[in-house]
Amino acid sequence: MSSSFSIVAAIILVTICVLGNSKAQLSSTFYTTTCPNVTSVVRGVVEQAQQNDIRIGAKLIQVHFHDCFVNGCDGSIMLDNADGIESEKDAVPNQSTDGYDQLLLKYWFLRMEAQRGKFNWEEETVGQPNQSGTTAIPSPFENLEKITKKFSDVGLDSTDLVALSGAHTFGRARCLTFVHRLYNFSGTGNPDPTIDTTYLETLRQICPNGGNGGTLADLDQSTRDEFDSNYFTNLQNKRGLLQTDQELFSTSGDTVAIVNRFANSQSDFFDSFGQSMINMGNIRPLTGSDGEIRSDCKRVN
């Protein structure tokens, strides 16, 4: 696993489970004194998990993304069903999310470290689930205009949209999320014209018409498990897997220039991705006396 993703993993955990009860605004140095080794702890657990699941990086980023687009980054996606609780996990947009066990593992590992006296433990104030609010999560079936609107609604701009979409540089997607592009796009009886013809045939082999919609395909066939900028080169070559991927380049607008910029400079992509992850992590987090401090990440107190 690349060091760049290890840093991303730390951002995810800090956002979802251990940000701390800030009284005014979020601070990247909040745990410098109380939990100075949080990043190394998280990195160690994530790297260990990656030995058993090469896809854990993509899974954790997806959970973070799906949490933040529903009432902000409040950790509500972690809650299980209970009396009076309808878990966001059961909503249609979250049927593909995974990695919850690893988030909980990191959470409990940090608690154990705290109990051993290695640092002071403080927990985040978190919110209630909003299953109906999961419609705010961008869908792979939506066009660029709708996706851009959903990002704008939570204060994210086109650079954030393209940079965060770059997380599709690794991970998998089920056939049901893109098969509509392969055979009968928009009811035309033809495939999506923005798919490279060779790539189209490859995808049809993976996802035959009427086949198993749960079959997985690589989001990036060139470097399937590497966090790099090949995703953007794929878009330039009409090899974006999801409709929402390819439209970043095939639909006229300001996203085209951003795709080209990231394709030409991986370091630019990495810098922008890190900043956009922070921007997304700042979507309406609960601070002060808002929400509740959970004693268990997956249950209300």
pLDDT of residue 231: 96
Q: How far apart are CA 181 and CA 243, in angstroms?
A: 7
- Compare 32 and 244 and report the one with higher pLDDT: 244
Q: How far apart are CA 137 and CA 221, in angstroms?
A: 25
Report whether 247 belongs to an annotated binding site: no
Report whether 74 belongs to an annotated binding site: yes
Give the single-character DSSP code of 70.
T
Convert the pLDDT of each residue in 33-84 to its tens digit.
766 776 677 777 777 777 777 667 777 777 888 888 877 777 777 777 777 7
Q: How far apart are CA 271 and CA 252, in angstroms?
A: 25
Report whether 223 belongs to an annotated binding site: yes
Distances (CA, A) of 235 to 161, 168, 201, 256, 286: 14, 11, 17, 10, 36
Convert the pLDDT of each residue in 198-208 to its tens digit.
999 999 999 99
pLDDT of residue 136: 78
**Is the pLDDT reported for residue 3 higher than 50?**
no
Report whether 72 belongs to an annotated binding site: yes
Average pLDDT over the chain, rounded to an integer: 77
Q: How far apart are CA 301 and CA 296, in angstroms?
A: 8
Q: How far apart are CA 21 and CA 287, in angstroms?
A: 6
Q: How far apart are CA 242 and CA 144, in angstroms?
A: 12
Report whether 160 belongs to an annotated binding site: no
**CATH level 3 topology of 3-135+283-293:** Peroxidase; domain 1 (1.10.520)
pLDDT of residue 78: 76
Catalytic residue positions? 66
What's the chain's Rg over C-alpha atoms?
Answer: 19
- Give pTM, 2 decimals: 0.76
pLDDT of residue 28: 63
Q: How far apart are CA 2 and CA 4, in angstroms?
A: 5
**Is the pLDDT reported for residue 258 higher than 90?**
yes
Convert the pLDDT of each residue in 119-172 to its tens digit.
343 444 455 666 666 777 888 889 999 999 999 999 999 999 999 999 999 889
Convert the pLDDT of each residue in 92-103 to its tens digit.
666 666 655 555
Report whether 88 belongs to an annotated binding site: yes
CATH number at 156-279:
1.10.420.10
Report whether 53 belongs to an annotated binding site: no
Domain boundaries, the chain: 3-135+283-293, 156-279
Phi-psi region of 266 (alpha: psi -120 to 50; beta: other; left: phi over 0): alpha
| H or E element in which residue 163 lies | helix 158-165
pLDDT of residue 82: 74
